[in-house]
Amino acid sequence: MMYHMKRILPGVLPFLLMAFIAVHEGKRTKISDPPANPAGGISYDSCKSYAGKMRLSLKSSLQAKTINEDSVARAYTGLMINHIIPHWYGTAWDFNGYTAIPGKGTVACGYFVSTTLLHSGMKLNRYKMAQKSSMDGALMLEPKDSLFIKYSDRDEFLKVFGQKFRDGLYMVGLSFHVGYLYKSGKSVFFIHSSYLDPTCVVQEKASASEALGQSKVFVVADITHNRPLIEKWLNNENIKH
């Protein structure tokens, strides 16, 4: 099933705030399936603004030892999956697209990934990341010896991915494409700006993804459990390209 973005109105950030409070109360919220639409009617600009405020609050709480690194990673993943990424659903794909505004203009697969990372607070150059090969883009997030690289078909890759990886968000580079993999329990979703029908940003079951099915190489960079990357986000450090 594919989900498309619904227009939302500017507003406050109740769902982000509730999630943030839950982390600080020490509740281990389960990473769940991505929503069909952004929760709570929160505008994209508000999400981006709150991402910075949330980052600073998490950093302060981590320094005070009232939360741990896993709580920070879960909070970042929730920000991406529940708030930043869903605004992009339905944004049209084009090979040369580089819009920074969801729902307006077009966005290529690489720009979808680099722009959502940037807008979540990752300090990177979205143009340079988007123009890299899948391998080089992944290397901006993890060193090569930490990447998972598999040459196979989709079904074999997903079988191994399901067994090897924990719930969370990952970047995946393909033969000629790039996007996110999101694992929640036994479910794995592929989130990407699709060059195939319906040629827009979609969330789909990875096992039914034609784009994944056309690839013979899979390069996976961890995001959720990548402590050096999350620390760079938390400390507002540059991600080198």
- Contacting residues for 62 by C-beta, under 8 A, at least 6 apart: 68, 69, 72, 234
The residue to which tokens 């050096």 are assigned: 228
Query: In the prediction, which pLDDT does 35 show?
Result: 55
Domains defined along the chain, listed by start: 14-234 (3.90.1720.10)
* Local confidence pLDDT in tens for the 241 residues of the chain: 343 333 322 333 444 444 443 444 434 434 455 555 554 578 999 999 989 999 999 999 999 999 999 999 999 999 999 999 999 999 999 999 999 999 999 999 999 999 999 999 999 999 999 999 999 999 999 999 999 999 999 999 999 999 999 999 999 999 999 999 999 999 999 999 999 999 999 999 999 999 999 999 999 999 999 999 999 999 999 998 8
Query: In the prediction, which pLDDT does 33 show?
Result: 56
Query: In the prediction, which pLDDT does 186 show?
Result: 94
Query: In the prediction, which pLDDT does 5 show?
Result: 33
The residue to which tokens 């009232």 are assigned: 66
Query: In the prediction, which pLDDT does 12 show?
Result: 37
Strand pairing class (178-184; 168-173)? antiparallel
Strand pairing class (148-151; 217-222)? antiparallel
Q: What is the CA radius of gyration of the chain?
A: 17
Whole-prediction pTM value?
0.87
Query: In the prediction, which pLDDT does 102 show?
Result: 97
For residue 76, report the phi and psi dihedrals to the nearest 5 degrees.
-65, -45
- Which residue type does 112 have? F
